[in-house]
Amino acid sequence: MGKKTTKVNSTRDLMNFEAAKPFIRSCLINESNLRKRQARTFVCADVWKTYFVELPSPKDRRTVCYIGEELLSRWNKAVDDLDQAAEENEQGSATIVNMAELLGNLGGSVKMYMVTNLEGWNGASVILNVSVQNQLSDLFPEGFAILPSSVHEVIAVPLGMARGAEIIVKTMNKSYMVAENELLSDHVFQVQKGRLTLLEKER
């Protein structure tokens, strides 16, 4: 069986929802990078979920069409339809990587996991997947927090370690280690009842 393609066959397929539907995917984005009339769903704080279709392009580059309200209107569809299509298309696309194994000795003894998709591109949205959340709950029985590394991945850490980590996230973002269009958030998150929420402050 050949590798499943993730791109539409041609830009003409965008005009037809049923042709484009198998290729609709989602990504998380900071509200400062949202485009006017871009289809979106609010997630938490300054983080939104948006949707795109990848177009045919040369092997060394990506050409992406972010879905806007005009295209939704042409399709006579709602954002919920995009969300359902993306969820179906992204099943089984997540990967959870032990940072200690990834970094070797540099990883230290702290329990940390990078969460992204198989491509490692626009993969932060997999943290909204219930299966991924359940896997992380098994890895962190005492709870876990989410550090927003970028739109491409997030880092899961023990809940206790995340207290005060917001200053680290802000410093990393402001040091230009994260490109402006790839910045996800300065906040630290946790998962509560299947939803991404701001990390509760210590009392």
Rounded to whole angstroms, how far apart are CA atoms 186 and 95? 23
pTM of the full structure: 0.90
Rounded to whole angstroms, how far apart are CA atoms 7 and 4? 9
Rounded to whole angstroms, how far apart are CA atoms 17 and 77? 8
What is the model's pLDDT at position 1? 38
Nearest residue to 12 (alpha-carbon basis) of 60, 69, 74: 74
Binned at pLDDT 50, 70 and 90, residue 58 comes out as confident
* pLDDT per position as a tens digit, 89-118: 999 999 999 988 877 665 566 789 999 999
Backbone phi, then psi, for 93, in 5-degree steps? -95, 0
C-alpha 61, offset from chain centre:
20
Give percent of the chain above pLDDT 90: 71
What is the model's pLDDT at position 203? 38
